[in-house]
Structure 1
Amino acid sequence: MISKVVRIRSFAMALCLTAPFALAESQMASGGLSPNAAADLLFQLETLQQEVQSLRGQLEDQGHELKLMKESQRDRYIDLDKRISLLMSASASEPKYSSAPEPRVEQPATQASVQKINNSTNSLAASPLAPISLQPPTAQAQQAYNDAYNLIRQRNFDEAETAFSEFVKDYPNNSLTGNGYYWLGEVKLVQGKSREAIEAFSTVIQNFPGHNKEQDSLYKLGTVSDQLGDTTKAKSYLQDVIRRFPDSKAAKLAAGYLSKIK
């Protein structure tokens, strides 16, 4: 389309440029071209040349802007495709619970310690938190979780976000709630809601210490913080994953990502 416009403009410009010469030649042949007419034709020629240069500059600017727009759209598509691929890859490895998963329980936290955890949001990656005791999900909670999780498998991310938001609200204290917040964060990432995703991942760390999604949530907090420009916090999260979970897949991913941060 652009090349067609260029050809049309070039043809029109050629006509404009050659017309004064043709008129001048015809008048000179008949002996009727006066000095004033010649000067006027020269002025018109110079004006047309300036307009041609201006149009060429505008065309080059528009072509450059179009190229930048295409590159930006391509980069955004590639980034979105990577996010969806990573999400689906992680989704495929998530176990389907036929029964309630066993929570990681070592030392049940007291009410005072849980409150202390909630008040330490700004130092999530400073030190590992003590695991808390969680109740197994009811059959109803298990079904609600499975239904929400299946929406991710079907790539219905808008519905999955709504389903997981309702799940963590309706079932705030069972062993699947941490998973619910983690997948809520993943879904929000796919939709470009980075700051809301950070809130979801942070909730896993704050409210469910020792949960099996803690290491993955820390890694995600590191990568998203880096994408938002907070390099210091990103390094802290990633280093915490490596220090606390050295043999995990999340630690390997954190080490790889950390090596690319300047």
Structure 2
Amino acid sequence: MKFRILLFVGLLGGLGQAQAFFDDEAHNQLRLVRERMSSLEATSKRQADTNEQQGREIVDLREQVEAEKLKFKALLSQYETLNNVLNSTQQIIESQHTEHKTYIQDLKAQLVSLGEKVSLGEKRGVAIQELQASLDKIGEQVSFLDVSNKQQTNLVRSLQASSQESSSQMDQAIQQQIKSMISLQGAADSQSAELRSIKGLNEDLTNKLQSLDARMHQFEAALVSEVKKKSHDEQLLIKQQSAEGAALRILIKQQSAEGAALRSRNDKLEKDLLDASEKLEKELSDIKKHQSKFSGLSERIDHVETVTALELKGQIETQKEELNTLRDQNKRLSDDLQSAEKRQKVFYDGMDASLRNFEAIVAGPSRSAPPADEGGVYELAYAHVKAGSHQDAIGALEEFIKKYPGSPRVANARYEVGNAYFALKDYQGALKSYQLLEEKYPSNPNVPDAMLNMAESQQQLKAVNNAKKTLRRVIEKFPKSKAATQARERLNQ
């Protein structure tokens, strides 16, 4: 029976430890999921900012392409205008050249006619000088026309050369514009491809977030089912414990009845022993009275007396031994009864504490009396944290730290106190709690995050240099942690 009681007590302790481990594990998993969600949200935000910046760059490139297109259209318009001017100039020059040729032909005809007139005017000596003068004038006009024709020809050639040069420059400019447009189009295509890849990454990230959300729902459902299962198991355990308690009470009643029977038997034996002693003393006195009468039988009486005394002494010793044995049994039964009553009291107290803890976890934080055990006090305090009651959480956790300073949960309690102060924007209180955590529990896994919040608290308190020193300490102490990555990002801002 003692083994069953000890086994039952050990089972209760194991259940309490399993419950504490399960709650700590669930808390750590939820904290990791929150960190992962925060990291994914930050990555998504940075990716969205990058997408927005690249979108702006693409818009700028498109605007540059449109501007280059407008410049190209303007150059084409200028080229067409110059080409039209060149064509009209060539037409004018050709018409002037035709007119000059016609005029020269007319002059030649006039020369021929003048020559005829000269041949005819040989006979007329008076008109020779006039004809010679007019011939000189005609020659001057012809030379002037030749010079003018050469100038017109040079002008046409220079215009053609400038036109060709302008045309080549226009061709080079057009080719450069085309190359620039091709490069810009390639850049725009690459940016579009990159944007499509980024959209694909965003879709993948969205899918991952949805998957993570689904996993969170599954985890919450599993947690709810686990809590239900645990509640069912605890109910079954309570029923089993109630049945064992009833059996224990029946056994205690039986032991009490056996103890009462043993005490009654012991009293009866003591009474019989006293009666036998009194009877023996009476017989001895009677023998002594009749000793004088039976002097001849003295030896026989002595022998009988000796034998009787020895037998009676043996019986008395035997009865005393039995009495001592009964007393020892009675004492052991009484001790067992007291021990059973104590264990029963501890058992029911533990059951009450477990029920209060379970009710506090299921129903949320309450202002009932704190449980008697360390795990129950911590769970009740942590229930305020989960409920978002930061001020109540601070009071309950500080009370836990004060009451159980050597508990392994003190480090987590100190971290949650700092978080509660930080949530209430009491940065001085948060800084003090985080510093105590770093000083007393440097190997606790919550220290890197606590140091990040410490730096943020110092930043809010305008202690910028101290905040930078704290971030550098995070990088130095935990170089491969996520907290170190966030510390580097904050220092680079």
Q: What is the TM-score with the length of structure 1 in the denominator?
A: 0.45
Higher helix share: 2
Q: What is the TM-score with the length of structure 2 in the denominator?
A: 0.25
Q: Which has the higher Rg, Structure 1 or Structure 2?
A: 2
Ranked by relative contact order (alpha carbons within 8 Å, sequence separation 6 or more), the top structure is 1
